[in-house]
Structure 1
Amino acid sequence: MQDLGISVLFQGRNFERLLEGLWITIGISLISVAISIILGIILGMIMSVKNPVIKVITRVYLEFVRIMPQLVLLFLVYFGATKAFGIQLSGKVAAIIVFSMWGTAEMGDLVRGALSSIPKHQYESGEAIGLTGLQIYFYIIIPQTIRRLVPLAINLVTRMIKTTSLIALIGVVEVVKVGQQIIEASRLTVPSAALWIYGVIFFLYFIVCYPISLLSAKLEKAWKN
């Protein structure tokens, strides 16, 4: 019977190494998302300020990060900044910086949109019952904003996890890089290893991301009612 290549998954620690690589991917994603949420909330509130100078600065940052491909940003930070300024950065740290920059821009725009979607009469109603500006934000605006933001923030997690596959190109040994190493090591003995290794990587991403997508959709549906 012809060896289809699936045996390569069970040679040595290959499958365990893939799981370890997946954990690195998830770890980088979660750290980047946590930073993005904190900085994104601050950026979103700044973007809501009615100041033309602030609006221009934040808009330039937002458009720069959105237009520039994440891969170019990775190369710019990991290869460019380290050489130009003599900074010693590991691939993981560079990845967290880049994905935090991207996530902050995305989250900031989500926060801005959520804040601007709150009807004006909500503010007026708070003022009518004698609430201060801070109390209006704390008791009325923030709870409604959170309801709008949570499903979108959860969705950002799945996007972040999928996008981290790019960090294999700067040498970070995450799940895709581990897969490439296994395929290269088995190139002569198991020519069809790529099909099985990348197939397993596909299912690992699916197993991680699909429940998160379901949670996001469920929350969005529940909170619309």
Structure 2
Amino acid sequence: MLDLGLEVLSKGNNMLRLLGGLWVALKISLLSVGISIALGILLGALMTWKNPVTKAILRVYLEFIRIMPQLVLLFLVYFGTTKAFGWDLTGEMAAIIVFVLWGTAEMSDLVRGALISIPRHQYESSEALGLTREQIYFYIIIPQALRRLIPLSINLITRMIKTTSLILMIGVVEILKVAQQIIEANRMSSPNAAFGIYLTVFILYFIACWPISMIAKHLERKWR
């Protein structure tokens, strides 16, 4: 009979430990997403301004975050700041800082793209109808931008959840770190435990991300 190593999950509280690790990953990613959305909307709106200094600063920030790998940012924030500034950051706090920096950059670019995608004639037509600038944004521009923005921002959530797998490199006990601990503890008694444990991790990530992905696809079809 094919041995997948799944029997390890029934030993002790291994399954509960994996679920606890998944919760750590979800907590970090969802908290980071919430902060990133708020900051991203603000910076995205600023990126549409005609002020060249503001646009240049935000563009440099965006390109820097895009070019720099998330793992390097994690090392820079977690290990670099403790040495350079004497900060006592936990692994979870460092992860949240990095994911907020990354998520804000991604979200601001999505907001900028959604705002500039609204045809110019809609602004002009609204002004011709006598609407104020605030009314134009509140009743005309923002509802259309949200229809373009929400599916893309939901996809960003799934990307951030999956990328939390990197935080084990700075000692955060999330689901992959727990999986490694279980595999190592059962290395002699269950040599095939790695396959079963990582398969379970894959399924748990799928269960966490699939509904979010389906929501994004549903909204895209509904608003197309």
1: CA distance, partners of 2:183 / 2:37:
37
Deviation of 1:221 (Å): 1.1
Deviation at 1:6, TM superposition (A): 1.6
For the residues of structure 2 that align with 1:104 and 1:94, how far apart are their CA atoms? 15
Superposed displacement of residue 14, structure 1: 0.3
Matched with 1:167 is 167
Q: AA paired with 1:206?
A: F
Aligned residue pairs, count: 224
Partner of 1:7: 7
Matched residue, 1:145? 145
Number of the residue aligned with 2:198: 198
1:113-151 CA deviation, whole Å, 9 max, x = no partner? 000000001111111111111111111111111111110
C-alpha distance in 2, partners of 1:30/1:38?
13
Residues 32-78 of structure 1 deviation map (CA, whole Å, 9 limit, x = unaligned): 00011000000100110012211111111000000000000000000
Kindly provide the amino acid, as one letter, of the partner of residue 32 in structure 1. S
Asked if 1 retains the 8 angstrom alpha-carbon contact of 2:4 and 2:195, the reply is: no
State the Cα distance separating 1:5 from its structure 2 match: 2.0
Task: Give the aligned residue type for 1:42.
Answer: L
Letter in 2 for 1:106: E
Distance in 2 of aligned mates of 1:59 and 1:209: 30
Distance in 2 (CA, whole Å) between partners of 1:71 and 1:169 is: 8
SS at match of 1:172: coil
Q: How do 1:58-137 residues align onto structure 2 when only pairs under 5 Å count?
A: 58-137=58-137
Regions of 4+ moved over 6 Å: none
RMSD across aligned positions (CA): 1.1
Whichever residue aligns with residue 103 of structure 2, its letter is G
- For residue 156 of structure 2, what is the aligned residue in structure 1? 156
> How far does the alpha carbon of each residue in 1:58-117 deviate from its partner, in whole angstroms, 9 at most, with x for none?
111000000000000000000001111011111111101000100000000000000000
Aligned to 2:178: 178
Cα displacement (A) at 1:3: 5.4
Of the structure 1 ranges 53-62 and 66-75, higher mean CA displacement relative to structure 2 is found in: 53-62
- Pairwise CA distance, 1:188: 1.5
**1:151/1:98 Cα in 2 relative to 1: closer, same or farther (>3 Å)?**
same
Q: TM-score, normalised by structure 2?
A: 0.97
Q: Cα distance, 1:4 vs. partner? A: 4.3
State how far apart, in whole Å, the 1-side matches of 2:215 and 2:102 are.
23
Distance 2:3 2:211 in 1: 34
- Report what 1:21 is aligned to: 21
Gaps of 5+ in 1: none
Aligned to 2:215: 215
CA distance in 2, matches of 1:97, 1:170: 13
Query: Is the contact made by 2:28 and 2:92 (CA closer than 8 Å) also made in structure 1?
Result: yes
Q: Deviations over 1:145-179 (max 9, x none)?
A: 11111101111110000000000111111111100
Residue 2 of structure 1: how far off its partner (Å): 7.8
* Cα distance in 2 for residues equivalent to 1:171 and 1:190: 25
- Whether contact under 8 Å (2:8, 2:190) holds in the other structure is yes
Query: Which whole-Å CA distance do the structure 2 matches of 1:47 and 1:132 have between them?
Result: 22
Shift, 1:203, TM fit = 0.6
